[in-house]
Homo-oligomer: A and B are copies of this chain.
């Protein structure tokens, strides 16, 4: 594969971000941002580990790689602005497949006005895509996971578990109701940028995106904020069609499946109505799923309330507590 022709093919003819002074074509991209704070994050996807040709066509591989990164930007309350792509290409991959990966990224990038400003293409034995994303957020409005406070409402956007159900269906080839819905949720996750931007006027909101499952993300907030969180099992939103799977599979996917790229957050009760109205305006479904405990001594813990029982959730699984 000719690296130069590939770079020419994937390079943009014009750039959308006015902050960008130089995109692809020099030793580095150059931008200026005097008004806002800047966020940056990197995520890497490896063939055979994070995806396979069996479950994901090149277009979706690209789309999803960028979606995961944009979701991190949403979880900071920021707007994505630009991205850099490093890609390791095996000789077994055809140039058209690589172009399709970039097409998948471009389609999502165009939805949110991102520019591709840099990259690196090298050869190797396995396909590896590493995406660095850069986003902007109003000064002092980055949404940290350490900002949850006692008495906060805990909420989540969308429905949980769908992505893992989709992966399950791709791997087992089972036929179930709404199969295409689950597969689309797995292959084309929708980062919650509009909602995250919508609540920028709030003085404080805690956000984490659900890449590693609800339990892990809630524990990260509880630990970083030094609080305890209680989630209420019957409040956790899942799509109607998920009911056709066994309750153990459903619970596994909802709490530990991850990759839904929904947002988990906490907010003061007085701001909850505002959050709900922004969710409505941005077409985002939102559900209160629990609360930050008002009183607690040993902090950093997450509990799950089910039918009069309370379980403690751990990163690796959950155990009965009381």
Contacts and interface: CB of A to CB of B under 8 A. Distances in A.
Given A28-B78, A76-B27, A128-B128, A122 B44 contact: yes
A44 B88 contact: yes
A122 B49 contact: yes
Contact of A28 (B29, B39, B84): B39
A50 B122 CA distance: 9
A41 B118 contact: yes
Contact of A39 (B29, B75, B133, B208): B29
B27 A145 contact: yes
A302 interface: no
B86 A42 contact: yes
Contacts of A208: 27
A31 B119 CA distance: 22
Given A48-B125, A78-B28, A119 B88 contact: no
Contacts of A42: 84-86, 118-120, 130, 132
10 contacts: A28-B39, A28-B73, A28-B76, A29-B39, A29-B40, A30-B38, A31-B37, A32-B37, A33-B38, A44-B130
